[in-house]
Amino acid sequence: MSIDPLRYICEDPLERKWAWISLILAFVMGGVLGFYALASNLHPPSNVETIDSSRLHLSEEFAEDNLGVKSNADGSLTITMVAARYGFYPPRIEVPVNTPVTLRMASADVLHGVHVPGTNMTTMVVPGYISEVNTMFTRTGEFSLLCNEFCGLGHDHMWSRLVVVENSAGGQ
């Protein structure tokens, strides 16, 4: 019988087995997530970029004429949006299906959150910081961007529309 290190703190053999199962469970779950994090680059939004939210419309990236969907050289798209009480701007964006997109969003005022039910697009939008989410929309249809962090008395009304279209009809 090999030496079980847990023997020193756990006398009962059945309980010791359970303790091992618990530890292994914790490591396996962490390991699976770690595997996908590294292999599929599946990370939560963590880009750590600052910006002055109080002067957002005077910035270059979040200037009014820079918002919306733009194509990048490698075929992916960048969606530049602003979260401001009480809406997401531009209020309607159209994106082709199965195309890698990078969402860049900043807040013009307070803390917001945005998620799109039916997709895995979600992030917090923190004043002073730029949020970046990389994803791909795999289903066509009409979706909603909903604000999910309390941002004031009008929070309920803060939402906008995302339309995912077939590839041939898509574009800017």
The answer to whether the bond into 86 is cis (omega within 30° of 0) is yes
CA neighbor of 94 nearest in space, from 158, 147, 161? 161
Nearer to other proteins, 35 or 171 (CB): 35
Site for other proteins in 16-45 (CB under 8 A): 18-19, 21-23, 25-27, 29-30, 33-34, 36-37, 42-45
Is 2 one of the binding residues for other proteins (CB under 8 A)?
no
Distance CA 35, CA 91 (A): 37
x/- letters, 130..159, toward other proteins (CB under 8 A): xxx---------x-x-xxxxxxxxxxxxxx
- Binding other proteins (rule: CB under 8 A), the pick from 4, 7, 55, 70 is 55
* Amino acid in position 9: I
Contact stretch for other proteins (CB under 8 A) within 61-69, 71-79, 94-102, 163-171: 61-69
Contact stretch for other proteins (CB under 8 A) within 68-76, 95-103, 123-131, 164-172: 123-131
- Binding other proteins (rule: CB under 8 A), the pick from 76, 91, 169, 171 is 91
- Let me know if 106 is exposed, middle or buried by CB neighbors in 10 A (0-12, 13-18, 19+): buried
* Amino acid in position 24: I
- Helix and strand totals (H; E) in the chain: 1, 11
- Binding other proteins (rule: CB under 8 A), the pick from 87, 97, 99, 163 is 87
Question: Closest approach of Cβ 170 to other proteins, in Å?
Answer: 20
- Let me know if 101 is exposed, middle or buried by CB neighbors in 10 A (0-12, 13-18, 19+): buried
Is 169 one of the binding residues for other proteins (CB under 8 A)?
no
